[in-house]
Chains A and B, each alone.
Chain A
Amino acid sequence: GQNIDQPTEMTATEGAIVQINCTYQTSGFNGLFWYQQHAGEAPTFLSYNVLDGLEEKGRFSSFLSRSKGYSYLLLKELQMKDSASYLCAVRGGAGKSTFGDGTTLTVKP
């Protein structure tokens, strides 16, 4: 089975940096994804890691350590619009993705 853990809530200040952690235990691994979901909207893709290391994409970076079952999403230069839920998802066998419960990030001025 799949077990994915991430913090429930985080708060940060506009302009700051925030790191959202995700740990996972899975029976299969074909990549780890981060999605952003604003209230009342569908999730949208942010980042993807399949190999160990850091993937950078503008203000967003994601890190993966497969041996530790650990990932983080790093958001820099936070903006008010970054207030959203951030979902960690592991793609396993048969192309199925399992999602963590999500981390609700609140950015304050």
Chain B
Amino acid sequence: SAVISQKPSRDICQRGTSLTIQCQVDSQVTMMFWYRQQPGQSLTLIATANQGSEATYESGFVIDKFPISRPNLTFSTLTVSNMSPEDSSIYLCSVEAAGTGPGELFFGEGSRLTVL
């Protein structure tokens, strides 16, 4: 299993500003992902955070808007840049770790961002 700490847990941000979300895992993991969950909706994968190389972004998400760092196997950051109200969402860090079955995902508690 894996225990994931995310911060901030919530924040209210002004339009045009940027915010960095941190994700700390209690063990070394290879696969780390960032998801977005908009109100009342399911999870959408933003990118895979790769250790030592650039993140792999999904369609509709770009590095300039969502820069990601992964300096080691236990830590990652996601920055939401030049925010607009449409970026109001919950951002979740997730890792793949040994659990009941291969590929099981563990999630952080999420960072709830409100952009005014």
Binding site for B on A (CB under 8 A): 30-31, 33, 35, 41-45, 47-48, 50, 87, 89, 91, 94-102
Name the A residues within 8 Å of B92 (CB-CB): 42-43
Task: Count contacts between A and B, CB distance < 8 Å.
Answer: 60
Measured CB to CB, the residues of B under 8 A from A are 31, 33, 41-45, 48, 56, 58, 92, 96, 99-110
Chain A to chain B: the 9 pairs with minimum beta-carbon distance, closest first: A48-B101, A42-B107, A99-B43, A91-B103, A101-B42, A102-B42, A99-B42, A95-B31, A45-B104
Contact present for A100 and B42 (CB under 8 Å)? yes
- Contact in complex: A45, B42 (CB < 8 Å): no
Chain A residues whose C-beta falls within 8 Å of the C-beta of B43 in the assembled complex: 43, 87, 99
C-alpha gap A97/B106 in the complex (Å): 12
Tell me the nearest residue of chain A to B102, going by C-beta. A31
A44 to chain B, nearest CB (A): 8
| Interface pair B31/A42, CB less than 8 Å apart | no
Query: Residues of B contacting A41 with CB < 8 Å?
Result: 109
For B103, give its contact among A33, A99, A100 (CB under 8 Å): A33
List of A residues within 8 angstroms of B101 by Cβ: 31, 33, 48, 50
> Can you offer 16 A-B residue contacts whose CB atoms are under 8 A?
A31-B101, A33-B105, A35-B105, A42-B110, A44-B107, A45-B99, A45-B104, A48-B100, A48-B101, A95-B48, A96-B45, A96-B58, A97-B103, A98-B45, A99-B42, A101-B41
